[in-house]
Structure 1
């Protein structure tokens, strides 16, 4: 269903159960709501949750912002490297306002909040700016953006900078498969055919590379969120893979050092993805954390 959140159209999947504990899931860069695996949603429902997922602005079936143009990632990266301000068509704070707008549209005063990768960055903004809306916070494979943290593996960084053409879905599929294979969990490698089918289904649902570029600029422009983290009051769980080649595990320890009441769970063999084999463990961790927060 589509709701109006923060004044824009946002696609939401809220399949219940209506009496479950609301858990809002915020997805990462260029990824649609379908990137949250059904295995995780089912596991969360069995643990008493009402998982809610949505397409961030400019991706999937949510409102696109093509009138804002397509910025240059290379130019933004150069300015960031030179410690100069980076301008983005919109900000992660804007995307956080969208997230709170989803809660308003669904009539949910407070929820458990879980963000993955860029979604975890958005969730940091939500928890800092709207503490009364967050019962518990789970930050999954994400970062504060602090300078000095280890960068992505070189092959991953090169793959990230490759941008598909707007008129080439087949090329986009190949680039996405390459990237997702590079960042996959070494202990739980994806089956190539299954991965390809999942990417193809996502592209068929919505193909919008310009939106992904604008989201990336929002991440680069957001910079270091360390001062923001001191304002987070919600009990926080940091979930991270020891073998994440995109957001290195040092980022998880950095988050825990800067957020009060934060706990950490580092999982060996986990990369920067959501492999089905790990879904029960992740659901258990989220459920235990939510129960501690309620207690």
Structure 2
């Protein structure tokens, strides 16, 4: 059965609109109460966010069932050994409920973040793959690591993870090279293509060449609204506020949908094969977000019953 999760907004726009950090924790609690399967947070240095791993720790303390995840984490912005320990700690605190979607950043948007962290932009994909391999080496209790980018003659010893091998790590990317890497190096795949056919063909490509089991997931930005004009206006406002670009441009890059619960469910259903769908509400207004959350659960219920 397909699982459904909520992406909890932790960036500056919703904080500027009046949402507080404790209220974001309550959002995760409410998502669990409504029957969603997971809660996720993003990661950036560009929009003054609440730290992803810190707030996941708060989620872990207040929830008991939902998967806790990053969508997506930018590992290059953090020290890899310290991050391995933080992630292991989160996994132990949550009883093995952590899943990590990771990315290497976006050309034209992420370069300043890498500069903030004093990490070279070139070879960022190889660096990402190496960091994930290093984490797994640490979680397995290995004593050294030598990769194409990272090199450690010795590694610290940490407690054993909640699950053998540590938390699952998904790749958040959709290029042809990413499909090959997802099937060879990662436990899951999290894209957001605007065309369902690209998702279906990408998943087929992964399955044809994968050397390991790969969970197919989908990141979707949604607004459940029966009034088509209002839905389009709210989506336009969200894209301008969140990306500084109009909706028609953003929708050429990522999956976004508005409509009634039945219409949203119908469009999500076209992404055949997705086993875990991450739903991001297309609003940074607390009042609108709170109104949308139970409607999101309604979409999930329709898809589960179909």
TM, length-normalised to structure 1: 0.35
Q: Which has the higher relative contact order, 1 or 2, with Cα contacts under 8 A spaced 6 or more apart?
A: 1
TM, length-normalised to structure 2: 0.34
